[in-house]
């Protein structure tokens, strides 16, 4: 099920939140920086990597002081690779796979927090979540944080039970 919620991503009481990152888990965009600030020192300690990650990958860490228990870091860009629709889609597919392996039931993502334009992000979130091959049902819920009521229209065709 996909739901639009008018609440900050850092405040969502879900199993995990999606955070846009670069190849070193550095914050990409203002929503990622807000998550980092809200996660505090405990969250910062979780974001250390020994080597650069591949663009399109996703990793799970603890969420520090966030309402969620975990953060799904989606690696959407690298030092020499800007974020693209394809890198976002690959990273989201990887995130859903990780969430499935950890049997996370609910995941939150910000419509304005994944680097690209809102229409591209809405489509990538919905399609990658809805069209997971051989899904076990985890995660079962995607809560999309919206900043403005008019963003709901971008998700309207997929909200509620019609999403799967």
Residues found in the chain: 164
pLDDT in tens, 77-135: 999 999 999 999 999 999 999 999 999 999 999 999 898 999 999 999 999 999 887 77
pLDDT class of 16 with cuts at 50, 70, 90: very high
| CA separation for the pair 10, 34 (Å, rounded) | 8
pLDDT in tens, 93-104: 999 999 999 999
Whether 69 contacts 60, CB under 8 Å: no
Give 102-123 as a DSSP string.
TT--EEEEETTSSSS-HHHHHH
> Which residues are paired to 22 by β-bridges?
77
- Which structural domains are found in the chain, ordered by start? 2-158 (3.40.220.10)
């Amino acid at each position: 099920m996909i739901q639009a919620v008018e609440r900050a991503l850092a405040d969502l009481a879900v199993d995990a939140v999606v955070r846009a990152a670069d190849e070193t888990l550095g914050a990409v965009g203002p929503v990622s920086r807000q998550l980092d600030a809200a996660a505090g020192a405990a969250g910062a300690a979780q974001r250390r990597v020994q080597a650069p990650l591949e663009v399109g990958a996703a990793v799970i860490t603890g969420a520090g002081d966030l309402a969620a228990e975990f953060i799904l870091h989606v690696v959407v860009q690298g030092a020499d690779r800007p974020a693209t629709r394809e890198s976002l889609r690959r990273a989201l597919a990887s995130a859903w796979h990780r969430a499935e392996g950890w049997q996370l039931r609910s995941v939150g993502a910000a419509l304005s927090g994944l680097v690209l334009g809102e229409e591209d992000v809405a489509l990538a979130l919905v399609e990658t979540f809805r069209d997971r091959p051989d899904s076990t049902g985890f995660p079962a819920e995607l809560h999309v944080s919206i900043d403005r009521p008019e963003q709901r229209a971008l998700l309207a065709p997929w909200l509620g039970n019609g999403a799967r």
